[in-house]
Structure 1
């Protein structure tokens, strides 16, 4: 139980990657606060060591208030995983300002607000780990998804800048950059691709699978294992990194 007593906050913790990370941290003894927009979803998936808290990362007042409440209940946040995000492709010439602003508000503004507020209590402790869930789109351009790509590039930049702000301390900041992961997002993207093209849903899904270098979807637990390693002894010198989890070189 290497993380016994440590408070972890995970946004977007009700499904997919966030939930897998929450379970991994809780299994190591962390007290995990998972957030998402729907309280009923969080209550349904929360197991021992996990507490659900509805929070909209796009709303500054909500983020400030809810993180304050979580800290009062479970102590300073020492592990912060900024995972909440949207993943939707749209050609640049079809990208409206509403689409752009909502993507940025969720993927970048939401991460910034989460990290800023988490650091308020983390800085009162002698150890902390910050992990952002970016994407392989954060280290290269993803065709047909310029808005999403820009948001994830920005998230990696935020992570690297914060690592420099706290260099030499016991806080580390790293971004995990997965390729296509087997989550509900894949199901939604499969339907969207099929609707926009002449592809069947099976062919649309295979298009994403073939993009991964090892020709399979990545399990959420693989991302969770990487996040857990960053929170355990032996990872102290890994800081300011964009760690690609893509089944091979991209």
Structure 2
């Protein structure tokens, strides 16, 4: 599969995993629309082959309008990567409805809206890939992060159901489930875990590092490599799968 000239949409594409995926796809000749909440951040990081577009994945009207604009500018979306998300732990008895709804609106509703609107143009083409960025927390649950885990379980369920809906078509739906990745989200969580647990930031980092089976943080480029495989030749039968990037058995 020659990806040159295709159009990809990546939510949360201005940093971390999303930006690593954007760079990898651009290197293959794909034009990538990266979205995030702040246009100035997107403008600062966007390189040749990328278009930054501010979009709030929690807002249905904004998602509908912005994806229509992206299609008008760069053609049908044939690679859709719902990546935008919040990763924050909180005990259930300390979880407010506001915290719960914001997590679900961003992680799960945002993925649903992004996929729904991207399919409008994708289904008019002869090829498409939807690759959701979930988490190991969507497969086994994460201690102290029930809300986050529930949102990622929902994302995986959405991905698997869509793969069933489109069996036998040229569109596939898969979920990437990484462990702890070396991104700004992990950096922020180090401070959060340290404060909640009353431990040093070094000890908080070690908790995350030791959670990965190979005892190191995962590089964002390891995640983007999986995306390239799912978009490449020979991946046609990879559908409805969870791709676990964890350094060992889960």
TM-score normalized by the length of structure 2: 0.99
Aligned to 2:2: 2
The reply on whether 1:131 has 2:131 as its aligned counterpart is: yes
Residue 91 of structure 1 deviates from its aligned partner by 0.6
Q: Deviations over 1:126-163 (max 9, x none)?
A: 00000000000010011100000000000000000001
SS at 1:139's partner residue? helix
Structure 1, unpaired ranges of 5+: none
RMSD: 0.8
Count of aligned positions: 250
Determine the C-alpha separation between the residues in 2 that align with 1:81 and 1:241: 15
Aligned to 2:194: 194
Residue 65 of structure 1 deviates from its aligned partner by 0.2
Aligned to 1:78: 78
SS at 2:140's partner residue? coil
Aligned to 2:40: 40
195-204 or 236-245, which deviates more? 195-204
Aligned to 2:245: 245
Determine the C-alpha separation between the residues in 2 that align with 1:109 and 1:198: 33
SS at 2:175's partner residue? strand
Structure 2, unpaired ranges of 5+: none
Structure 1 residues 1-250: aligned runs within 5 Å: 2-250=2-250
Q: Deviations over 1:178-209 (max 9, x none)?
A: 00000000111000011112211111111100
TM-score normalized by the length of structure 1: 0.99
Determine the C-alpha separation between the residues in 2 that align with 1:197 and 1:91: 12
